[in-house]
Structure 1
Amino acid sequence: MNKNNIIKLVVKIILLSYNSYISFINVANADNAANADNAANADNAVNAVNAVNVANADNDDNADNDDNIFS
């Protein structure tokens, strides 16, 4: 192998390594974004459950009031 071919080979290896690294970072970032979205969805689910629980507690209060009216 002459010197030029060795230099070309080294440059190709460096570029391939860099591209692999960038691809890995992009995949990691996409995964983190998906996780953040999932966390937001979990938060929304908790909020929905809390809203239902509050509504249920309010309904229980109303039922109690109805009992008082008819007693």
Structure 2
Amino acid sequence: MFSLIKTIGLKKLLATETPSFLLSLILAETAYKFGSFVLECLAFLVTWGFISYLFNVLLSPRKNPS
């Protein structure tokens, strides 16, 4: 995590990951009831990664092939 913050910068990291983090947190809190903290935590992390990926793919500016 420290390397990520050092490479990208804290402000940019917060700006890009906060929406996907909050959406994943809400989804995990309302939908995941596995009865195990570890399973719920892993499911949350996978959900966060997937939603973050979707946000980056869908919201990133398109480059025109030249």
TM-score interval w.r.t. the shorter chain? 0.3 to 0.5
Q: Point out the structure with max Rg over C-alpha.
A: 1
Structure number having the greater helix percentage: 1
TM-score (norm: length of structure 1): 0.37
- The structure whose RCO (Cα within 8 Å, separation 6+) is larger is 2
